[in-house]
Amino acid sequence: MKAPALHISGDLWLGQVALVRNLGLDFPAGQWSCLLGPSGVGKSTLGRLIAGLAGPFQLQGHCRASDARPLNGRVAMMAQDGQLLPWASVLHNVTIGARLRGQVPDTARARALLDELGLGALATRRPATLSGGQRQRVALARTLIEDCPVVVLDEPFSALDAATRLAMQDLAARMLTGRTVVLITHDPLEAVRLADRAWLLLPDGAETLDLPAPSPPRSYRDETTLAMQARLLARLHGMQPA
């Protein structure tokens, strides 16, 4: 499996509303790219576009992989709401992709992954019996188990407490080594820790962000990481309505 680079250019529309114009995004192959920006600017819509999901949106432009192959069937996506099956156990939720493809699920691998995520004892539970953070980790496990070269993560750690969030960020960074990852987040520290490249998405385009020199995942204690987080927080705070 060789992960391609992605290139997105053009104008993103939601119905008759232009969300973002003049896009020019290059997501490097095998690296993490991050999209930050105010709510409603189109970050999640871009994620769904990359994943090939249907919706009332369109790109007047191009979304291409560097190997010129279609992205269909090569993208795993973790959506904001997790979209767990309420009637299925944690283990069945994690292995649903294989079942939908008519394959025999690798339950041993799924159980090992659940153990790494601290969910091993919950394999037989249903989503309704789990906390919000536990459900989010199940959705993360379902994404991580897929062997797709491109992965879209939409707010994948938002429901986790601070310590668990850092641990899950490190685990995801390790397990997705070599994949082309598109991370959508509102959390500046998350973006600075994990991204090889990052953009601030605005209605008139995407602004490239200068990231600290150390390779991700960067330490949350590092002074340059914290300084960049502070600058991004100030910038994002200025974009919020008074």
Q: Is the pLDDT of residue 81 over 90?
A: no
If you write DSSP's letter for every residue of 110-122 in order, what string do you get? HHHHHHHTT-GGG
Look over the chain and give the mean of its residue pLDDT values, rounded to a whole number.
93
Phi-psi region of 194 (alpha: psi -120 to 50; beta: other; left: phi over 0): alpha
pLDDT tens for each residue of 147-189: 899 999 999 999 999 999 999 999 999 999 999 999 999 999 9
| Helices and strands (H and E) in the chain: how many | 8, 9
Domain regions of the chain by residue span: 1-74+148-242, 84-147
Place 214 in a pLDDT band, splitting at 50, 70 and 90: confident
- The pLDDT of residue 164 is 94
Phi and psi torsions of 131, nearest 5°: -75, 170
Q: Is the pLDDT of residue 1 over 90?
A: no
Is 64 in a helix, a strand, or coil?
strand
On the 0-12 / 13-18 / 19+ scale of CB atoms within 10 A, 1 is: exposed
For the question of whether the overall pTM of this predicted structure is more than 0.85, the answer is yes
The mean pLDDT of 38-49, rounded to a whole number, is 92
On the 0-12 / 13-18 / 19+ scale of CB atoms within 10 A, 197 is: middle
* Angstrom distance (rounded) from CA 35 to CA 87: 33
* Angstrom distance (rounded) from CA 193 to CA 170: 9
- The pLDDT of residue 176 is 96
The mean pLDDT of 91-103, rounded to a whole number, is 94
Asked if 84 and 139 count as a contact pair (C-beta separation under 8 A), the reply is yes
The mean pLDDT of 191-206, rounded to a whole number, is 95
What CATH number belongs to 1-74+148-242?
3.40.50.300
- The pLDDT of residue 240 is 65
- The pLDDT of residue 146 is 93
* Angstrom distance (rounded) from CA 39 to CA 125: 33
- The pLDDT of residue 150 is 98
Q: Is the pLDDT of residue 239 over 60?
A: yes
pLDDT tens for each residue of 121-145: 999 999 999 999 999 999 999 999 9
